A and B are shown apart, each in its own frame.
Chain A
């Protein structure tokens, strides 16, 4: 048995009447960073929403480490080990950085020593969590926020972390820092699934790539191969002369 952490098989899902995902299958291996790319409307974010339980799949299965999680409520999926770093502002702006990270451990709040251990772990991994511990989260820059968000998601020691456009709205330096952090997170044996619009950035960061178009997987494989695939430019910018 290979080291597959999460499997999606023939998933169909959508909003209202329309199907956004039209029979999507996907496998994620332990310790990998997989990046989903594709033009707007391809259904990238919808994949994350189905895994995290915000959207119930109509058909198909989602399995995490042998346990089916498709259609479970978001809190149950979080407990099962899938954490999320969303695209929009998700921090508690009026709370300190320390409190924000602490809140990530809400579900293990009664296990004090474990909580403390995790806080140490996150503090070691993400220096800013200690450096700006007492600053209000609302005063952080975009890149710093993203790191605190990742730190918060790590508090439950998830096996899978979902990230929606982690580079969105960040300057190149912050993007590099966030990318470095994501690699470090993966190197501890966690699986990262992220959505990026920015193909090269995503592929440089990821170990594996998935290209989506109109609700299905068009291409998938090692990241290096995806970035240079000529089909992708066509998908984004249309056929030359067409």
Chain B
């Protein structure tokens, strides 16, 4: 949107919008066309708004038309009380819708997928009931007659047309703004993998609620206007579940998650709806046709029109270009020299720690009565590389997850830089300087490598949310880090297209963007080839030289022995022994833990 006007995906829609603006002026006696287009505008506005929470963040709401109804009632009730045309109350409609969305969002966004879908329907129906029953305020099921416009009769519906049109343009601008901002990037990250998004510092709660509130605003604004356009507001009309289904269908047909898809879909659905009514002359056929379109779209074009078209174009382009192979060996060998400030940790916000940067004290974690971790205390010395090893099932992963906050210990404490973080959220830990990677990489698959790298956040702030995706020095740092790790060629590749080993490196690069003081690596060497392991070891050493404290959980013992200053061996949920690599290598207990004790098979009582 903000980009070059000469690009077709910008100028085609802009020209179409200009043409739409001209219709009432150019076309004689276009009253009918205007009335159809007004509904098109309304659907496009709603579908674009819905797209912010459901398309970007992936939280499918089936009750979003509740905010249209709230806008309608706000306009009607206040308009009547104050003797004002609801049209002038559009901003108030938006504000009330946003306020309700804030309260509702905080509750319903605690649920996920299925439950979320259903709760959104329940919210819609609750408001329908409220409107029907709060008779003094809403006039009950008879509804409210809305004050008619004061403008001259010969203007016809033109004023409505242009105000709806203006709201559509504003909505498109809002959604273009969100998509180009860090908020939008964060939402897409949440859709891809919410747990991972939290681990790189995205405050998922704030992000989701913000998106939910923003998505309600166009509905509320349009509602105030729509109520006046209809001339009356009643519970069944204002809070119709069918409206929600239509707008979801619109976004689905056009393409969820895109800027123009929902707009296009809004026009398609509104026109199909009108055609169904005129041709078959009844409501029944309309429901049938919409239902059938919904089924067909879900089954045969689930991505929507625009994404399907663009992937078709890309496939054609790809045919013409020769596929570019990337030499694995060249990636593996290069590790460029860098200014250590690039990979140096940023100072802790609140650092009261002595030598131990990260500490777990007496951590116990019980699953179904069994102690997976039974009272472990470990301290990571500042500037060290510490290894955590042990056979399968010894509790390594559980302990690791207690540190990262993915699970909460049954008892015990986790201390970061002297602060107790045992019950802190995953994203707060990331803000406080704790970075982690995953054993099976969890990059955002639908995003490019560069987008993956600029996604991490060092704090949650409003200013940062509204900042553009690629503003600030992040892009430059991301490129520097990619270059440092020899990954610069992959910048524009989709994360899904990389090999597993490459993904591991990119995930480490992503974590580096947080400038963490402590990095927890979960089996960094598993599933990747020896050359990459060597490279990885070099990267870890460099990071450590630059001042980062590292914890490695790993099965590759030779790697751990060569890399670590200090090693803890875990067995059966307890620390078996700790020491330097030399001590561990020669410790008979360690050999026994890995190779198994001799006496284990004596059958009891035999």
Contacts and interface: CB of A to CB of B under 8 A. Distances in A.
Q: Do chains A and B touch in the complex (CB under 8 A)?
A: yes
B499 A238 contact: no
Nearest to A179: B601
A66 interface: no
B557 A205 contact: no
A202 B597 CA distance: 11
Contacts of A237: 557-558, 561, 585, 590-591, 594
B329 interface: no
Contacts of B323: none
A117 interface: no
Contacts of A204: 596, 598, 600-601
A203 to B, nearest CB: 8
Contact of B604 (A41, A173, A196, A205): A173
Q: Interface size for chain A: under 10, 10 to 19, 20 to 34, or 35 or more residues?
A: 35 or more
A240 B584 CA distance: 11
B555 interface: yes
B557 A236 contact: yes
A52 to B, nearest CB: 20
Contact of A177 (B500, B527, B604): B604
Contacts of B486: none
B3 interface: no
Contact of B499 (A17, A199, A239, A240): A17
A233 interface: yes
Q: Interface size for chain B: under 10, 10 to 19, 20 to 34, or 35 or more residues?
A: 20 to 34
A203 B477 CA distance: 52
Contacts of B526: 40-41
B391 A197 contact: yes
Interface string B569-580: 000100000000
A7 B143 CA distance: 79
A198 interface: yes
Contacts of A30: none
Contacts of B555: 39-41
Contacts of A173: 604
A199 B527 contact: no
Given A40-B556, A165-B392, A180 B595 contact: no
A176 B602 contact: yes
A200 B595 contact: yes
27 contacts: A40-B392, A40-B555, A41-B526, A41-B527, A41-B555, A41-B556, A168-B393, A171-B572, A172-B600, A175-B601, A176-B601, A197-B392, A198-B595, A199-B595, A200-B595, A201-B597, A204-B598, A204-B600, A204-B601, A205-B601, A233-B591, A233-B595, A236-B595, A237-B558, A237-B585, A238-B558, A238-B561
> 4 closest A-B pairs (Cβ-Cβ)?
A238-B558, A200-B596, A40-B555, A198-B596
Interface of A: 16-18, 39-41, 141-142, 165, 168-169, 171-173, 175-177, 179-180, 196-202, 204-205, 232-233, 236-240, 242
Interface of B: 370, 391-393, 499-500, 526-527, 555-558, 561-562, 572, 585, 590-591, 594-598, 600-604
